[in-house]
Amino acid sequence: MQDGVAVNGVCSSESVNGSRDVFSCKDYDSLSAGHLVVMVHGILVLLNWFWPWFYCFLCSSSDWKFGAEQFVKRLPDKVFVHCSERNMSKLTLDGVDIMGERLAKEVLEIIQEKPNLCKISFVAHSIGGLVVRYAIGRLYRPPKGEVKEDTSGDGCKEEVRGTIGGLEAINFITVASPHLGSRGNKQVGFLFGVTAFEKAASCIIHWIFRRTGRHLFLTDVDEGKPPLLKRMLDDSDELYFMSALCIFKRRVLYSNVAYDHIVGWRTSSIRRNGELPKWEESLIETYPHIVYEEHCKACDIDQDETVSAEDYGSSDQLEEELIRGLSRVSWEKVDVSFIKSKQRSAAHSVIQVKDQVLHIEGADVIQHMIDKFFT
């Protein structure tokens, strides 16, 4: 690590591979904070050629700079924040699984370097949410004690829980992440909901986003296996995708209700069209852009296995399978609107405060995230 840099009580240090650690300066010598918060950025997006007012989304650890500093500033001595950049720039085009393997290795290295850590949380933006879901499947460690009946109501059948890399799993938080993929009507805003555009995108997306594009549009066929996002609904081989997701005390989805031209509201909030709530202006002064909150209990899909996509008003059977699979665990869903913001067309970045100057209107979303972090 390089020498730490202090700014307003917040210290940071940068490793040779570009990742960034953020922590309280009071904690600088001992780095004793036991709760590791791993922040993961999104994908490389080059849309200047498509829409002139879109700038280039260059992904790096600095994407979470504002969020990381706010976490440490408001939760001093409680969290140690690591902003990952093991999957920087063009590496985000290598596929969700390869990025997930890199992230898992990176997290294990941090845990080995800091033996005082006992808890872990993830905060991920955009494709980062899928990368984290893959990584935790690799990092999951089964419980050592006797498995008991679930009494929490979160869909996890273990009272003696497993761990993530040996650490207690606390928060799994995603911000504008395409959990249902990017295929389907209005899942990608800049395709304008035009069916012809959406079908064409499925055919050519790998030219732009390579292997990651195939994963997002569910067109990947590896050795005859189902698409990766479908495989991530269950445990398989040495990858415990659902067991890992299950053991987090909280699973939270932050979603843009409008003007997110990269990730649609339905896929980021794991909902069907008919489940998208009616929302109004926020009445909470502290969080002016939070327009709806919903706590969804886990559903037992074994009770309705015969229900088809059409029964839910959906035209995509695979999307329905993804929704039902992910609904086996409980979720907190937080809907966000920047419809009155001058930067609303950049909602995908504003919700993260990717740039502290351009996107500062999203600061209340970060504040909401921090205020609820230990609830």
Query: Taking 90 as the threshold, does the pLDDT of residue 66 lie above it?
Result: yes
Two tokens, residue 221: 């066929």
Segment 172-195 mean pLDDT: 75
Q: Which one-letter DSSP state was computed for residue 330? A: -
Number of domains in the chain: 1
pLDDT tens figures, 98-113:
999 999 999 999 999 9
Is residue 29 very low, low, confident or very high in pLDDT (cuts 50, 70, 90)?
very low
Residue 221: helix, strand or coil by DSSP?
coil
Query: Taking 50 as the threshold, does the pLDDT of residue 53 lie above it?
Result: no
Is residue 367 very low, low, confident or very high in pLDDT (cuts 50, 70, 90)?
very high
Query: Taking 80 as the threshold, does the pLDDT of residue 274 lie above it?
Result: yes
Contacts with 227 (C-beta within 8 Å, 6 or more apart), sequence order = 181, 215, 218, 219, 220, 221, 318
CB atoms within 10 A of CB 284: 12
Domain range for 337: 5-371
If one compares 301 and 139, the residue with the highest pLDDT of the two is 139
pLDDT tens figures, 35-49:
999 999 987 555 433
In this prediction the pTM is 0.86
Report the CATH number at residue 47. 3.40.50
pLDDT tens figures, 329-356:
999 999 999 999 999 989 999 999 998 9
Picking from 52, 37, 42, the residue whose alpha carbon sits closest to that of residue 118 is: 37
Segment 52-76 mean pLDDT: 75
pLDDT tens figures, 217-231:
888 877 778 999 999
User: CA 347 from chain center: how many Å?
Assistant: 16
**pLDDT averaged over every residue in the chain:** 82
Rounded CA-CA distance 180/326 in Å is 9
Is residue 310 very low, low, confident or very high in pLDDT (cuts 50, 70, 90)?
low
pLDDT tens figures, 247-256:
999 999 999 9
Rounded CA-CA distance 243/258 in Å is 32
Rounded CA-CA distance 267/335 in Å is 12
Query: Taking 70 as the threshold, does the pLDDT of residue 132 lie above it?
Result: yes
Contacts with 81 (C-beta within 8 Å, 6 or more apart), sequence order = 21, 22, 23, 37, 38, 39, 68, 71, 72
Residue 183 is predicted with a pLDDT of 78
